[in-house]
């Protein structure tokens, strides 16, 4: 017996007078999202019929489940076809005519099936009006004794519904593309959208007679079944990066308190704070959601590349709503700890390898240490520091090495560090000569990192080797400003220097090698470096303020003091040599200095001859 169906007309039931402007303005930021939403509905339809077959509810399904996208350029039509569960007239009236009533949720509730469904809101279908003047649905349910249905809507709240002739199970969506959006009738445009959003969907998607998706992506497989070369191949395919291999990767797989799978790769990082576009892709049940996770993911994770997939997040079309998503916050807390655990295991298993790759991953780790407290606590087990000789330590190891020898007069453990081996070589040699140990801290995050460690450990103080008189840290040095000859010397130096940039101190240092020391006080330099990072511009040298320490224990200064009437030229030459070494001698004086020194060398050579 065939059921009759008359052509019916009606109004779509919505809370607003016209839902479509609302959809366009608030729910979807890009027109192209329509294809993702319709394909996801088709995937749900196929998953439903597959679930019913697995449960034994139906047995006459033999053909392979498939979705196909076709373009009819002359007719200005895009057609999306699936051989999934289909819909009856009542189901069309319920799930299409009543906006925001989700069929996926109802199906899961009825059959208590595994959550492989994508749609949650029931609004996705109406994204088709982002590009269409008219939309048609032709659908045939898997249920026996039901007729196919033909539904038509022109973008208003009015629709018509009548019987269709098709005998095949499934659903066909016809989109009559708006003249202004005919770019979507180009094959390259549709293929680009399919590859962006549907590349890993679990049902085969055909376009131009080719399957364009991978139905079993690597992150859905068990880690024990995946070889190293397969992880690397997936990385190359995903990011089109064959220049640098990933240094390591973390396979995520958790079922409680939320479901999550994914793979995160740690790429080789250069010593810069410039970041590329976000490289972590967020998926929901293998559907691409976004790669713009600003304000969602802990910022240091932007150094990573990879995919995160969870059915517990909503396939929301408005990214701003993710910021307050509790599940996402739990997910990224989990990821942060998972990364820390993985790094700890690598260090314990193969410390030599970890030391080898350290300089390529330290930006990731240091950024995490200063930005995430939970990561900082975990990092104590794997974060490495290296000294000026290139030897690596955990900070606890280095601390134990220096805690007795480098105890200051203020009862602080002094961690000396350098940021540039060449520029600070004079000071490094001086500190090493006294038997002290020096770390090399040369990343953009050094100033934040050392302040973090100091805040967490009140008995530790970091001092850069060129920031102050080292002798004065452990014992008082003799200040000899009161001697008349020294006052004259100081006055002569003041006449030669810009007093707004230099503070002159006269001290008797234990180190006899240099007549002058130039430094920037530790606190001042840290402030300058923080401003540099925050403003992303170079601090000009003429804005710096320096301490000039005159060493009365040096033979040149002694000679100057002894021969009062002959000291001026020797004093100025010695001073400008030190200024030249620090690259803070003004250009005009630099030229004069070079001429004078070259002339002195020539005269000295001539005298020897």
Binding residue positions for ATP? 37, 41, 82, 87, 171, 319
Q: C-alpha distances in angstroms, 198 versus 42, 47, 65, 235, 373?
A: 12, 15, 16, 18, 37
Work out the angle at residue 529's Cα, subtended by the Cα atoms of residues 395 and 500, and round it to the nearest 5 degrees.
130
Work out the angle at residue 238's Cα, subtended by the Cα atoms of residues 234 and 239, and round it to the nearest 5 degrees.
120
d(CA 228, CA 265): 12
β-strand partners of 280: 306
Q: Phi, psi at residue 518, to the nearest 5°?
A: -120, 130
In sequence order, what DSSP letters do the residues of 109-133 get, joined into one string? HHH---S----SSS-GGGGGGGTEE
**Which residues does the annotation place in the binding site?**
37, 41, 82, 87, 171, 319
- What long-range pairs does 252-255 form, CB within 8 A, spacing at least 24? 252/219, 252/308, 252/335, 252/338, 253/222, 253/223, 254/334
Residue whose C-alpha is closest to residue 472's, from 444, 505, 495, 494: 505
538: burial class by Cβ within 10 Å (0-12, 13-18, 19+)?
A: exposed
d(CA 273, CA 214): 35
- Helix extents (H) in 394-483: 395-402, 425-433, 446-456, 471-474
CB burial readout 53-70, b (16+ within 10 A) else e: beeeeeeeeeeebbbbbe
Per-residue tokens: 423: 């520029």
Per-residue tokens: 309: 């997939």
d(CA 466, CA 419): 10
d(CA 443, CA 426): 21
> CB of 376 within 8 A of CB of 368?
yes
> CB of 421 within 8 A of CB of 390?
no
How many CB atoms are located within 10 Å of the residue 283 CB?
A: 24
- Spell out the residues 6+ positions from residue 255 whose beta carbon is closer than 8 angstroms to its own: none
- Helix extents (H) in 421-507: 425-433, 446-456, 471-474, 484-496
> CB of 150 within 8 A of CB of 136?
yes
């Amino acid at each position: 017996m065939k059921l009759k169906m008359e052509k019916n007309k009606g109004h779509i039931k919505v809370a607003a007078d016209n839902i479509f402007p609302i959809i366009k303005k608030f729910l979807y930021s890009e027109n192209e999202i329509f294809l993702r939403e319709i394909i996801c509905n088709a995937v749900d339809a196929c998953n439903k019929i597959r679930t019913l077959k697995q449960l034994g509810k139906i047995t006459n399904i033999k053909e392979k489940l498939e979705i196909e996208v076709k373009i009819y350029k002359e007719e200005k039509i895009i057609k999306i076809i699936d051989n999934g569960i289909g819909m009856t007239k009542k189901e069309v009236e319920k799930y299409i005519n009543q906006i925001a009533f989700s069929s996926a949720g109802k199906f899961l509730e009825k059959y208590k099936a595994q959550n492989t469904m994508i749609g949650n809101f029931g609004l996705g279908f109406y994204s088709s009006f982002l590009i269409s003047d008219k939309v048609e649905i032709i659908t045939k349910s898997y249920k026996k004794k039901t007729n196919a249905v033909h539904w038509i809507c022109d973008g208003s709240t009015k629709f018509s519904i009548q019987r269709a002739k098709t005998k095949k199970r499934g659903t066909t969506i016809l989109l009559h593309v708006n003249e202004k959006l005919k770019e979507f009738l180009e094959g390259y445009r549709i293929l680009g959208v399919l590859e962006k959003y549907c590349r890993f969907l679990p049902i085969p998607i055909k376009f131009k007679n080719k399957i364009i998706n991978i139905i079993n992506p690597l992150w859905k497989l068990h880690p024990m079944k995946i070889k190293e070369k397969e992880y690397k191949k997936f990385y190359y395919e995903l990011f089109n990066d064959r220049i640098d291999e990933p240094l390591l990767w973390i396979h995520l797989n958790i079922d409680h308190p939320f479901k999550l799978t994914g793979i995160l790769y740690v790429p080789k990082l250069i010593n810069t704070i410039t970041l590329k576009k976000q490289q972590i892709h967020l998926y929901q049940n293998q559907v691409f959601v976004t790669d713009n996770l600003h304000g969602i993911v802990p910022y240091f994770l932007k150094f990573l590349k990879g995919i995160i997939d969870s059915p517990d997040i909503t396939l929301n079309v408005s990214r701003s709503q993710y910021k307050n998503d509790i599940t996402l916050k739990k997910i990224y807390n989990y990821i942060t700890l998972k990364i820390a655990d993985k790094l700890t295991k690598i260090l314990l298993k193969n410390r030599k390898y970890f030391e080898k790759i350290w300089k390529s991953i330290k930006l990731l780790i240091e950024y995490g240490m200063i930005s995430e407290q939970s990561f900082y606590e975990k990092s104590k087990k794997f974060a490495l520091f290296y000294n000026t000789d290139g030897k690596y330590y955990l900070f606890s190891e280095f601390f134990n090495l220096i805690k007795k020898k480098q105890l200051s007069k203020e009862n602080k453990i002094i961690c000396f560090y350098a940021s540039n081996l060449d520029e600070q070589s004079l000071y490094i040699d001086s500190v090493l000569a006294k038997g002290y140990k020096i770390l090399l801290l040369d990343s953009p995050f050094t100033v934040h990192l050392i302040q973090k460690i100091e805040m967490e450990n009140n008995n530790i103080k970091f001092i850069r080797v060129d920031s102050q008189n080292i002798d004065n840290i452990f014992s008082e040095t003799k200040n000899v400003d009161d001697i008349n000859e020294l006052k004259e010397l100081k006055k002569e130096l003041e006449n030669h220097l810009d007093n707004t940039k230099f503070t002159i101190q006269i001290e008797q240092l234990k180190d006899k090698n240099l007549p002058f020391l130039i430094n920037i006080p530790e606190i001042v330099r840290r402030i300058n470096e923080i401003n540099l990072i925050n403003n992303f511009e170079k601090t000009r040298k003429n804005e710096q303020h320096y301490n000039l320490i005159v060493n009365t224990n040096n033979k040149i200064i002694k000679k100057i003091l002894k021969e009062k009437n002959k000291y001026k030229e020797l004093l100025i030459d010695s001073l400008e040599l030190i200024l030249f070494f620090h690259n803070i001698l003004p250009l005009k004086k630099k030229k004069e200095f070079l001429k004078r020194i070259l002339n002195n060398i020539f005269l000295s050579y001539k005298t020897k001859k």
